[in-house]
């Protein structure tokens, strides 16, 4: 599976742990994130992830910023993107099962690195249930 990842200055350590974990699982990574703690603007790293996922260059995306909110809002501006701000494995699972989320947004200042890795693992290994949820997901995009 190909995963696109982007982060701002709040997430370099999170990204490194997630990328290391995903590579061990055999996934290919497209890295759009910063590797430093120098202040940067999260949209500069979120938009490329959203474009990768929306165009099929990546199967899923992972975005990380301090609260998870700003980068989540950024990627959700793109048609075809359903990014979910997750703070535990259960939310990550439901985002896939019920919302067919294709990007997970992680709040680095409110989760541990271990939690983040577990959420990404859960997110990527949970299938969309379809059915009544598909009807709802079909109503999300503005037409």
**98 part of the active site:** yes
**142 part of the active site:** no
| Total Cβ atoms within 10 A of residue 106 | 31
Q: Which of 32, 65, 78, 86 is catalytic?
A: 65
Say which residues have a Cβ less than 8 Å from residue 33's Cβ, sequence separation at least 6. 5, 6, 7, 8, 11, 12, 15, 45, 64
136 near 120, Cβ under 8 Å? no
Say which residues have a Cβ less than 8 Å from residue 50's Cβ, sequence separation at least 6. 61, 74, 75, 77, 78, 81, 83, 103
Residues with catalytic function: 65, 98
């Amino acid at each position: 599976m190909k995963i696109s990842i982007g982060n701002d200055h709040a997430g370099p350590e999170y990204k490194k742990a997630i990328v290391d974990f995903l590579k061990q699982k055999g996934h290919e990574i497209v890295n759009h994130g910063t590797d430093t703690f120098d202040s940067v603007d999260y949209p500069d790293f979120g938009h490329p992830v959203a474009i990768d996922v929306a165009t099929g260059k990546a199967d899923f995306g992972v975005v990380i910023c301090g609260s998870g909110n700003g980068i989540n809002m950024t990627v959700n501006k793109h048609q075809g993107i359903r990014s979910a701000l997750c703070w535990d494995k259960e939310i990550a699972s439901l985002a896939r099962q019920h919302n067919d989320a294709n990007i997970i947004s992680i709040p680095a200042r409110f989760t541990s690195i271990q939690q983040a890795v577990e959420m990404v693992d859960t997110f990527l290994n949970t299938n969309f249930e379809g059915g009544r949820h598909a009807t709802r997901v079909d109503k999300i995009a503005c037409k």
